[in-house]
Amino acid sequence: MDYRQIPNLITTARLILAIVFFVILSWYQYEGRGHSTLLTIGFFTCLIAISTDYIDGYLARLWKVESGFGRVVDPFVDKILVLGSFIFFAGKNFIIATEVVDGQIYVAHTITGVTPAMVVVILGRELLVTSIRGLAEKSGVSFGADKWGKLKMVMQSVTILVIITYVYFLEVLQRRASPEAYEAYRSYAGMFRDICIWTTLVVTVGSAWGYLVRSVQFMRGAGR
């Protein structure tokens, strides 16, 4: 095997790991089907997929074998992993009822702290930047990720792992700990989880600003 294909193989493996991670999330249900062990497996599956994101790019640059495949598929896998994770976190598998009257659920929320509106914000940013990048690179202008885009990816990745950890220990403590310990964890760990989520949203939205500025400069230059 040609060693120059290793970065592309790692990228492909990341896509497979993302699919495995989504299968785990689709099977698991908080206070329902599945066991907290699934979250442990999911955590390490996601961690490996996130960690190898930096390995394939580093090797491609080190060996000077950056290819069209990696240039397209690598960011695609990033977006699939992040968007898929947040979509699942805002979905039915992580919803719990908080107010039930006469057997009817009146109020429910996600145990992950992620709402559909947050997913729309993240998805909107990704679609906007992808459209801008596609238009620029079609005209021969390089439009790679800047430092804010990289920070955005780091924050999103960390937040995904924080959410999985939070849900795992919440379920474990609900079964094994005292009500006081459970509520204390839910309060303080939930606060930390929310800080991570909202910081991620701010960085995600803010990171689009640089792309907008660069796109305006590009269009002004193209119009001359």
Nearest to 135 by CA among 224, 223, 215, 68: 215
Query: Against a cut of 0.85, is the pTM above it?
Result: yes
CATH number at residue 169: 1.20.120
Phi, psi dihedrals of residue 155, rounded to the nearest 5°: -65, -45
pLDDT in tens, 1-10: 566 678 888 9
Is 90 in contact with 55 (CB distance < 8 Å)? no
Highest-confidence segment of 102-106, 123-127, 198-202: 198-202
Q: What is the pLDDT of residue 86?
A: 97
CA distances from 90 to 6, 94, 121, 178 (A): 35, 7, 13, 28
Alpha-carbon span 183 to 150, nearest angstrom: 35
Over the chain, what is the mean pLDDT? 85
Total Cβ atoms within 10 A of residue 166: 22
- The boundaries of the domain holding residue 166 are 3-222
Q: How many domains does the chain have?
A: 1
pLDDT in tens, 128-174: 888 887 777 676 666 666 788 889 999 999 999 999 999 999 989 98
Alpha-carbon span 71 to 57, nearest angstrom: 9
Strands (E), 58-175: 95-101, 104-110
Q: What is the pLDDT of residue 215?
A: 76
